[in-house]
Amino acid sequence: MSYNFDEIIDRRDTGSLKWHYTDDTIALWVADMDFKAAEPILNAIEQVVQHGILGYTNPTEALYDSIINWHGRRYDLWLEKQDILFSPGVVPSLVLMMNVFTEVGDAVLVNDPIYTPFMTKVEQNGRKLVLSALQEIEGKYHLDLADIEAKIIEHDVKLYLLCNPHNPGGRVWMRDELEALLAICKKHNVAIVSDEIHQDLTLTGHTFTPFLTLAEGYEHNVVSLTSMTKTFNIAGIKGSMIFAKDKALIKKIGQQQQLNDEYELNLFAYTAMRSAYEKGDEWLAQALAYIDANIDLTVQFLEAHLPKIKVMRPEASYLIWVDCSAYAEDDQALYDTLRAAKVELSAGFKYGQEGHLKMRINVACPRALLLEGLTRMHAALGDVVKP
C-alpha cells in the first residue's frame, strides 16, 4: 500500500511531549515523527484491544524470530535467542549498562556533541563524565581517535558510550572507524556500549555496521542497545532490546535487571515490536524516501534563504544539525528568537559544548509543516546576519 506522509494530524492536547503548545507553534524538535504509524502495527494493536485482555506478557518464540530475522537479513547480525534481553527503553538501558560495567566514581567516555542523556545520566549516576569532541572535517564529524585514547589513559576510563548512528550529527560510523575504536578500547580494556536506536533510519548510500558484528574475541565487553520505537515512530509505547553475545555478560545484565524488575515488555510493546519486524519493511522504505526528500528540501531552503547556516547533511535519521553562528551570538537568545517566531528546534547547547550556536531540526513531518517551520525560521533569523 501507499502511505500518505503529507497528512497533517493534530497532535496538540494528546499528551505529546513534542506538541505541547496551546498556540500554533510548529514543533521541529523532539525526535519523533509526525507520521501515522505503519498499518500492520496499528492493526495488531487494534486486535489486542478487540481481544480485550491486557495481561502480563512474555516474549514468545515468534517475537524472538522476528528480531533475529530483522537484524540478520538487514545487517548480517545473526543473534541467538539467548543474546537478547528486553528493556523499557534505550536510555534506561544506558543506565543499566553503567551499573553492569562501572562503579560510582568510574570514568565514562562519550563524544561531544551527543544526545543529552549520554551526559546527564552519567553524571546523575555518580560517574565521572569524560568528553571527547568530534572533529568536523568538510562538514562531517569524525572520531578523534588520538584524543579518545589519551582521555582513556588520563582518566582510566572504564566504559565508552557510543552513539551509532550519531545523534545529533547524523553520522553512520564506518566499519574502519569502528574497528579503530574497538582496537583502542581493547588495548585499554574499556567496555563499549553502542546505542544503535537510529540504525534502521540509515539513508540511501550509507551502510550501518552493528558493533557486535566486529566484536569477536571481545564479546565479553560489548553490548548494543536498540529499539523499534524510533524506526517505526512508536516511541510512546516504550520498549527496547539489549544484545550481547557473551553468556556470562548476558547473565550479569539479567541479574542487574532483576534488581529493579525492569526486564518485562508491556503488551503493546510486544505487539508492536513483533508486527514491526515481521511486516514493517514497506512503511519504513516509504518513510525513508519521504524523509530523504524533506532533507533535500531543507538543505535547498537554507541555501537559498539563510545561506550562512552551515548544514551537516545526515547519513541516517531525520535530524539535521545546523550551525547558526553567523546569525546569533548567544545560545539562549537564538532558541528564544525562534520560539518567539513560533517554531521550536532543539537547542544545540543541550548536546554539549560542541553544540554552541547550533540547532537540530527534525524534518520528519508533512512537507507543508516543514516549509512553514523553515519560513518562520527564515523570518526570525533572516535579518540578524552578524557583520
The answer to the question of residue 226 lying near ligand PLP (CB under 6 A) is no
Q: Which range in 88-96, 140-148, 183-191, 347-355 contacts ligand PLP by CB under 6 A?
A: 88-96
Per-residue interface string for the shown chain with ligand PLP, residues 285-324, x marking contact by CB under 6 A: ----------------------------------------
- With beta carbons less than 8 A apart as the criterion, state whether 287 and 7 touch: no
Which lies closer to ligand PLP via its Cβ, residue 316 or residue 338? 316
Name which of 295, 299, 298 is nearest 316 in CA terms: 295
Q: Which residue has the cell 560489548?
A: 222
Nearer to ligand PLP, 118 or 301 (CB): 118
Q: Which three cell numbers stand for residue 199?
A: 540504525
Residue 372 C-beta: closest distance to ligand PLP, Å: 23
Q: Considering only residues 111, 202, 229, 346, which one is a binding residue for ligand PLP as defined by CB under 6 A?
A: 229
Task: State which residue, 341 or 359, has the beta carbon closest to ligand PLP.
Answer: 359
Pick from 347, 328, 310, 382: nearest CA to 28? 347
Nearer of residues 67 and 306 to ligand PLP, judged by Cβ: 67
Contact segment (CB under 6 A) with ligand PLP among 89-97, 143-151, 172-180, 182-190 equals 89-97
Least separation in angstroms between CB 150 and ligand PLP = 25
The pair phi, psi for residue 375, each rounded to 5°, is -65, -40
Interface segment toward ligand PLP; rule CB under 6 A; list 60-68, 146-154, 227-235, 277-285: 227-235
Look at the chain and count its residues.
Answer: 387
Q: Does 240 bind ligand PLP (CB under 6 A)?
A: yes
Q: Residue 6 is placed in which grid cell?
A: 503529507
Amino acid at the residue 245: K
**Cβ closer to ligand PLP: 167 or 337?**
167
User: Is residue 31 close enough to count as binding ligand PLP by CB under 6 A?
Assistant: yes
- Please provide the DSSP assignment of 131-160 as one string: EEEPEEETTEEE--HHHHHHHHHHHTEEEE
Q: How far is the CB of 235 from ligand PLP (least distance, A)?
A: 5
Is residue 110 near ligand PLP by the rule CB under 6 A? Answer: no
If one asks whether residue 363 binds ligand PLP (CB under 6 A), the answer comes out as no
Q: Is 38 in the site for ligand PLP (CB under 6 A)?
A: no
Question: In terms of DSSP H, where are the helices of the chain?
Answer: 39-51, 61-75, 90-101, 117-124, 145-155, 175-187, 247-260, 267-279, 281-305, 331-340, 367-381
Q: Is 167 in the site for ligand PLP (CB under 6 A)?
A: yes
Task: Indicate whether 89 belongs to the interface with ligand PLP (CB under 6 A).
Answer: yes
Told to check if 163 binds ligand PLP by CB under 6 A, we report yes
Nearest of 337, 336, 340, 358 to residue 349 by alpha carbon:
358
**Parallel, antiparallel or unpaired: strands 157-163 and 135-137:** unpaired
**In the block, which residue shows the cell 557510543?**
162
β partners of residue 192: 160, 222
**Judged by CB, which is closer to ligand PLP: 102, or 233?**
233
According to the binding rule CB under 6 A, does residue 345 interact with ligand PLP?
no
Residues that contact ligand PLP, how many (by CB under 6 A): 13
CB of 186 to ligand PLP, least distance (A): 24
Q: Which residue among 28, 91, 357, 365 contacts ligand PLP (CB under 6 A)?
A: 91
- Assign 3-class secondary structure to 31-88: CCCCCCCCHHHHHHHHHHHHHCCCCCCCCCHHHHHHHHHHHHHHHCCCCCHHHEEEEC
Q: Which set of grid coordinates corresponds to residue 64?
A: 524472538
Say whether residue 380 binds ligand PLP (CB under 6 A): no
Binding site for ligand PLP (CB under 6 A): 31, 89-91, 115, 163, 167, 195, 197, 227, 229, 235, 240
